[in-house]
Amino acid sequence: MSLDTPNIQTTVATVTSPAQGPLHRNTHTYDLMRQCIHCGFCLPTCPTYAVLGVEMDSPRGRIYQMQAIAEGRMEISPEFVDHMYCCLGCRACETACPSGVQFGKLIEAAREQIQLEVAHMPILSETKREIAEPPGNGDFPLHEYADKRPALESLTERLLRSFFFDLILPSRTLTSLVFAALKVYQRSGLQTLVRRLCRRRCRDS
């Protein structure tokens, strides 16, 4: 009878660094971006551009922003996040593209890069942007008036994301308890009562 202890392999979950994300030069995603010739044939097929009429909410405008991020000409900002998540992901633009740009892969890569940036931001961080001061202007340092780096997500959104994805979903027990509580909430009539109260408040307001 062997008394050898079995080898237990433990895996540690690591989050990819934003520097290793898809929106960078010398990546397959960057090669896909460069296939776009900015002809504009995709504009009439894009539902968000048809409704909003904003270039940055068109496939061509989104690719331009992605390429600017990859080349270091622009940082990921809340505006960039809004433009990327405003896309419906319908990929209707691919049918009109003469260059065969795979926009579905590009929008997925952009959203992946956003999540990598969010994952590496401390929840309670207040990091200021680094601004290079011009020489001979020491009496008026620019860093004192520099705006703080805007958060890509609000504190509430990040706490909820961490609560559900880091605490609830990895645990089968907690997930079962949450679904059991939802069933009690629905079958006990409490859900109907809450809806009636909300309707009354909306009518009163």
How far, in Å, CA of 94 to CA of 61, rounded? 14
pLDDT per residue over 65-104, tens digit each?
999 999 999 888 889 999 999 999 999 999 999 999 999 9
* Reported pTM: 0.60
pLDDT per residue over 115-129, tens digit each?
888 776 655 444 333
Among 156, 66, 55, CA closest to 114: 66
Q: What pLDDT score was predicted for residue 180? A: 92
pLDDT beyond 80 at 139: no
Residue 8: pLDDT band (50, 70, 90) is: very low
Coil/strand/helix, residue 18: helix
Among 32, 15, 14, CA closest to 23: 32
Q: Are 87 and 70 in contact (CB under 8 A)?
A: no
Higher pLDDT among residues 35 and 132, named by residue: 35
pLDDT per residue over 59-71, tens digit each?
999 999 999 999 9
| Pair of tokens at residue 72 | 């270091």
